[in-house]
Amino acid sequence: MTLERIPWDQYFMAQSVLLSLRSTCTRLEVGATVVRDKRIIAGGYNGSVSGDVHCIDDGCYMVDGHCVRTIHAEMNAILQCAKFGIPTEGAEIYVTHFPCLQCTKMILQAGIKKIHYLKDYRNNEYAMALIKQVGATVDQVTLSKKYFAELQLGEEETASVEEAPQTDQ
């Protein structure tokens, strides 16, 4: 079997899918990866402020049909850059769902020039117009099964394995 290298788009989007599995808000599992010069510089998922309770434990904090506890994956990824002083100018972002208007504005204002998304999700018209207006681009990525078919991660869980202590967020 010949080895076909996984293209960058597939690799970065798969990273976002993996991150989405860490989401703590049950409303929507979203993952986001910020990439600069073909390197991952940050990642985020839908979750609470560090130190707050998680929606998966306490239920969502709903106001007007939205969970107000959650920081969106895109915002978490960009805030990670802010926290550690990593420039986002000219970067790209890979998101599992089309970003909401607030996240789109933040992405553009952070200087991110390319938005790659996996799934359509209430694609906001003004967000799309803004992307065009500022000269950024958006494209939909489709994950191709052939690059992941060979992945057989993990082993079967056995009854004796104790759950690892949850010390992180």
User: Using the rule CB under 5 A, which residue among 13, 32, 41, 55 binds Zn ion?
Assistant: 55
As a residue count, the chain comes to: 169
Question: 140 and 120 in contact (C-beta within 8 Å)?
Answer: yes
- Tell me whether residue 64 or residue 155 sits nearer to Zn ion (CB atom): 64
Is 103 annotated as contributing to ligand binding?
yes
Instruction: Please state whether beta strands 137-140 and 39-45 pair in parallel, antiparallel, or not at all (unpaired).
Output: unpaired
Q: Which is nearer to Zn ion, 14 or 107 (CB)?
A: 107
Q: Which range touches Zn ion (CB under 5 A), out of 18-26, 84-92, 130-138, 144-152? A: 18-26
DSSP-based three-state secondary structure for 36:
strand
Cα gap 51→53, rounded to integer Å: 7
Element (H, E) at 45: strand 39-45
Q: Which of 17, 18, 67, 71 binds Zn ion (CB under 5 A)?
A: 67
Binding Zn ion (rule: CB under 5 A), the pick from 100, 108, 118, 136 is 100
Asked if 97 touches Zn ion (CB under 5 A), the answer is no
Block residue for tokens 């553009």: 108
Q: Point out which residues bind Zn ion (CB under 5 A).
A: 25, 55, 60, 67, 70, 72, 100, 103
List the catalytic residues: 74
